[in-house]
Structure formats: structure tokens, C-alpha cells
Structure 1
Amino acid sequence: MPHQVPQPGPERMTPFDGGTLVVGVRPGSDPLVVLTAAALARATGGELFVAYVDEQRFTEREFADGAVQHSDLNPDAADDSWRQVEAELKAELDGLLAGAGVGWQFRYLAGRPDRSLTHLARAVDAAVIVVGNRAPEHGAKVREFLDGALALKLAQHQHRPVLAVPLSVVDWKAPMPWA
């Protein structure tokens, strides 16, 4: 008998009112994503979990609070540069969210962004996952466009709603970038 994947449904909804939100960020990313998530958290009275997923590291162990123990993909590397990335992101977020009127926590995750954000959302029982979404750049191929759509991957592989914050748009009349 094939494995049954739990499907979305009313019984699996997490209430937005007071619900937790997970937002995925990258170093130097557009602040609109975090500010949108903070505004939604403030409006719903929820808490915000801001997460960065380091794809150059892998998850060794997942914890109940959504945190992970991680290591470098290269077992011979003794590189702790991830700590600097974490510190810089936290400092950037402190400045961005100061006065936002919302409680927030940061998680440094590792591995595939879709899986890592899903794990965190499950661990904190998030009502929604918020990510940025860019229009495809000129010269992008269809496969690159589809493979790179984090919001799409999240929406297809877990039951929580995904809010994709537009960071760039394409003119309706312009030819598609991969054409």
C-alpha cells in the first residue's frame, strides 16, 4: 500500500489570530519580505520566526523548537564563517524590526530551503510561511524558473498557506524572459 501523505483540510488549519508566522530570509535580501511578515504578525497578534537556510550546510539534528544542529557539507572544513553570517543577519533584523511591534525569534537552518522552512513551520505550528518571490530574470530557462520557485515548492509539499511577497514584476506585455 502506498504511503498516504496528509492533505490540506479544515482540520489541519492553524488559526491566523495569534498564530505564529515563519519568514524565510537571505543575507542582503529585500527588507519588504520581513516587513510584510512583521505587519501580518502584528495584525494577527502572532509571533514571527525569521529563518535563514544555509544551503552549504546540512542538518544533523532537528530540535522541537525548530532549531537545528548543522555541519559544513565538506567534512574536512573547519569553517565557522556561518557564525558571522548569523550575527550579521541578526543585527540587520534587529534594526529592521525595532519598533515593529512584534515579537520575533531567529533560526539559522541548513539544507534545502523548502524542507528546512517546512520543519520550522511544523515545529512552531505556524499559520503561514512567508517568502520573497522574484520575477524570472532575462535569459532564465523554464526549468530554472520552475526549479527555483521556493513558494511553489512549499505550497506543493506541506499543508500551510504560503505567502509569496512580490519583489519584482514582469510587464504583462513584455515577452517572457526564457523566450
Structure 2
Amino acid sequence: MSSFQRTIRVILVSGSLTAMALSSAAPAPADNRRLNESVFGNIYTAQKMNGCPVPPQRDGRLDEAARRHALDLLHHRELNGGIGSDGSTVSDRAAAAGFTGTVAETIAINPALAISGIEILDRWWPDPVSRGTMQDCANISIGVWSENALDRSVVVAVYGQPSL
């Protein structure tokens, strides 16, 4: 076997091993940080437009409560609102994440791989309850999470009024 044939064989074997490793690897989760920050930015803007004196801040505990519900909505297609598959409410999820205070949430579900900030606003802004939640100046702690599957995207925003 010539040197050239050995080199080709090594390349082919290496390529096959790489392809097998890649095909057996678990798919990487989507990185929705930009979308989550965009949703938070829209909430910030809604509160600013409403004249809120204190700007809202991201709260990791509320991010966790939103994450928990977003995953639940993604994996339980029969759900489409605030009640989780285990019967939990937004208050239950926030408390489980360590947040004490009053909470509310807004949810957007899209039957597609992706959802944009514009689509989310198109759902929340015209709805008086969702818009009121977004613009409530007392909601100074915010958590946002989004999850995607090939046929479903879910965005959950959790709004908090911390206990003093």
C-alpha cells in the first residue's frame, strides 16, 4: 500500500468516526438568551412608557420559575395556560424557586420552531390583562424563559413584587 493510499484510508476512517460521533451526540439545546433579553427589554419599555419610577430588574429566581413552566408547556401539549401539569400555579413555581411576594405571568405559545419578539408583543399588548401585567409599576422583578421544539415555541415571563 502506497503512502498516498494510507493517507486516504486514515482520512476516510477518521471522517467515518467523526460522523458516527456527531450522529450519536445529543442535540444541543437552543440558546434563547437573545430572545429572553428582548422580551425583558419589551417589558422594561412597557413600564417606562407607563411612567414607572423604578426600572424592573431580572431576577434569577423568577427566571427559574419561568423556565420550569416553559419546559412543562413544551412537553405537555395539552397545557396552554398558567396551570402546570402537576397543578402548580405561578405562585407555587415562584415560591419553589425561593421568591417571596406577589407574582403574575404572561405566556406565549407558537405552533412553530421559533417565535419572535414582535409575535410575543402581538399577543400580549392587545390583551388588557397581559398588557396590565407588563405595565404594572409594582412588578419590579422579572423572569423570562423560552423553549423550542420543532413544532412548538413557548415563552413565559414571570413578574414579581417582592415582599418587604
**TM-score w.r.t. length of structure 1:** 0.24
- Please say which structure displays the higher CA radius of gyration: 2
**TM-score w.r.t. length of structure 2:** 0.26
> With CA pairs under 8 Å and 6+ residues apart, which has the higher RCO, 1 or 2?
2
More helix by share: 2
